[in-house]
Structure 1
């Protein structure tokens, strides 16, 4: 399947930035120039630039154009995200330590948590999630439930995927409260019964069929959500 035009353009611009063709502080071609040179609609170009802006690679201001701000995607490890690039950053900057894998048949309790159909079989990867290249304690306990026939399952497990993979999906998020117990509290080195937040990511394909679910259980003292509310004007 051919990637959407906005994904192809985003990938091209990312490659040109990372190759050094555009350095930090350089201006990218204007929306008009990108539309003209590639015969693309303005909305398509803006969508591509939004991918780079969400990833923290460019900044856009009215009257100042589009400026390269970083040759790499943004850091951080927010489990509750507001963009596909944020989801990509979460996976790229964290990993499951000593993952355990198995096939599970969904019971009523798991179905209520994940939204997976009761009685269906899924491939599960679970374990404590840590920040890559860090000695800090685990940030959460993660469980990933994947359809066995996913063509890019290995990419999800190894984080070898990019915006093009996530842009094909609709992603739902849900946050709820729980208390840690048993193996999860032991793996996270917190007292059994401690408060925690559960962040569930549900991935739907282009036909709106559920194809993967991520469950991330955070001790309350290791989780924080911060947002800002306001307007931002962008232009060439």
Structure 2
């Protein structure tokens, strides 16, 4: 997997798909800096570190709703499209779909497969029946009833604001366990693209909305459920643990995530 840049436009090349980042509204973080200053009543409107502080300190992150990233998805399956379209605070969706257009290929699941040959044959048979309907004169909207969920869609475009990406899309699809394999791969590509523009901002979102934050929530849940006293916690500490930070020890002891699936 790699990022290719052509005339300033970046494309993430996945194993069976690609994503082009066609727009990123605030690459230098200047608009976020101005809005952060207005929000906090500050005069230094060019302080580009302030938006990061808003995330870290838990202030209302509304300023991030005004900035957008636009992605163009190529050879992405219907399954992944359905997962992305669930985010109702996305700004824009442009997709020809399978009402006027048709699909020509499919992708196999990236999750654990018991029998690769059986899965391939089943999906291939479904794709073949879909093509038979088209060849026999059925309209694309009728034929799509037989189209497998693994079918690759024609190029489509989604535009997300920064807040939806950080709080929902990345959090639910790559930072928490349980997302389906192909969706994880595509959303990871989206993450790689935005991270390549502003690593400080997106690392901050990861720290406070991503896996570390999710693990900390899990620590609190387990401690609360077990009703642990300070004495009980101290009795769990072994000699080898004394060199660790307390946060690292708590996450290692109680922070392991489990998929709900």
TM bin (shorter chain): under 0.3
Structure of greater Rg: 2
- Point out which structure has higher relative CO (alpha carbons under 8 A, 6+ apart): 2
Which is richer in strand? 1
Q: TM-score, normalised by structure 2?
A: 0.20
Which is richer in helix? 2
